[in-house]
């Protein structure tokens, strides 16, 4: 499997949301983290513990210094087909991937679990550690 193929217009939140300010251009459906030095949301990635500190999923597109709504918990339609019972994790550049796609040295942040073919129950767990090998 690969990163979820997100259709931004189909992203819908059925859970907890927060609002903030974008610190760069963000597309609806991308994972974001809060940059602690600027207080703005930026795109998450799995390449370091800091970058993998995902806070949620962007619910709207925003450019730098524009308002951004972020889904932080509960059900979301990520705008992609998901597998029921599959664990989803932070991938590269704001993407979401199945846990079995994690490779050695990628930092693991659990996004949630697929509950239907169009919903993920988001319960973010930022482990802060890199995978020692392939995860399955």
The pLDDT tens digits for 30-82 are: 999 999 999 999 999 999 999 999 999 999 999 999 999 999 999 999 999 99
Domains of the chain by start residue, with CATH? 8-130 (2.40.300)
Residues 6+ apart with CB under 8 A from 36: none
The pLDDT tens digits for 68-98 are: 999 999 999 999 999 999 999 999 999 999 9
State the pTM of this model: 0.94
């Amino acid at each position: 499997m690969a990163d979820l193929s997100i259709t931004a217009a189909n992203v819908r939140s059925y859970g907890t949301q927060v609002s903030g300010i974008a610190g760069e251009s963000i597309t609806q459906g991308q994972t974001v983290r809060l940059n602690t030095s600027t207080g703005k949301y930026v795109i998450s990635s799995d390449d370091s513990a800091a970058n993998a500190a995902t806070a949620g999923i962007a619910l709207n597109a925003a450019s730098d210094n524009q308002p951004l709504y972020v889904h932080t918990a509960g059900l979301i339609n990520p705008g992609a087909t998901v597998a029921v019972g599959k664990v989803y994790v932070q991938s590269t550049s704001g993407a979401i991937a199945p846990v079995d796609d994690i490779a050695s040295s990628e930092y693991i942040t659990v996004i949630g679990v697929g509950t239907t073919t169009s919903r993920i129950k988001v319960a973010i767990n930022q482990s802060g550690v890199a995978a020692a090998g392939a995860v399955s």
